[in-house]
Amino acid sequence: MPDANVGIGTTSPQARLEVYQSGGTVLDIQGSQGQLFSVTDDLTGTLFAVSDVSGIPILEVDDSGTVGIAQHAYYDTSSFYDLSNWWHIAQGSPDPQFYSNGTYQGNLYMMGSDYRIKQDVQDLQDGAIDRVKLIRTVSYRNKSYNGINFDESITREGFIAHELQEIIPSAVTYEKDDPKFIQQLRIDSVVAVLTKAIQEQQSIIESLQSRIQTLENS
């Protein structure tokens, strides 16, 4: 029956191939060097895992929704279920968090801007120019901190997060000296205030141009 569904562990499969198992390992594919692929029905621990051809795990999803991607250079086979030796992405607030070797590296941020995901939309209030004038702009070089490594040779331009937070609170995540997370910028908030400031400046320029034109014509 070429069009029939096939079931393993079920008498009423709903797909071309359906494998059912209540608890434990549902699917386990082994290669000559070890496990290549597995899916479990457990409520805790690893739910889904993929290994390379040598049997070393390279991807894992656990019960918290954390996705781990192994770094082979640092991988310790004695800690397969310990994501401290993996790159992994975890749920965070307000954005997903990226870890390397168990150390928080930063947030993953995408600027969703569709009107369908926004409510309480209001125009920014006037006064953006005054806010921009308070922002300190700096040049700096990164330094490695708490297991987070940067290229310390490059001079960059930007802001100091906690200083900017005092002026545009929505532009900065977390608080100064948070013991676990470094502060990061939500650059769309900065761009919005800068755009508003440019609009205010343009209104001033056009008003002055009109006055100059009036004086020249008198």
Instruction: Give tens-digit pLDDT for 170-190.
Output: 999 889 998 877 888 888 999
The answer on pLDDT for 103 being more than 90 is no
Instruction: Answer with the residue of higher pLDDT: 124 or 103.
Output: 124
The SS3 call for residue 192 is helix
Whole-number pLDDT of residue 79: 38
| CA distances, 30 to each of 25, 37, 54, 101, 186 (Å) | 13, 7, 10, 27, 45
Separation CA 83–CA 52 (nearest Å) = 17
Mean pLDDT value across residues 134-162: 88
Average pLDDT over residues 53-62: 68
Q: Which has more pLDDT, 157 or 17?
A: 157
In the chain, % helix, strand, coil (3-state, to 5) comes to 25, 30, 45
Domain 115-217 falls under CATH 3.40.50 = no
Q: Does 94 sit behind a cis peptide bond, omega within 30 degrees of 0 on the bond before it?
A: yes
Q: Are 33 and 52 in contact (CB under 8 A)?
A: no
Across the range 190-199, mean pLDDT stands at 96
- pLDDT band at residue 83 using 50, 70 and 90 as cut-offs: very low
If one compares 56 and 164, the residue with the highest pLDDT of the two is 164
The one-letter amino acid code at 173 reads T
Ranges of each domain in the chain: 6-107, 115-217
Is the full-model pTM beyond 0.75?
no
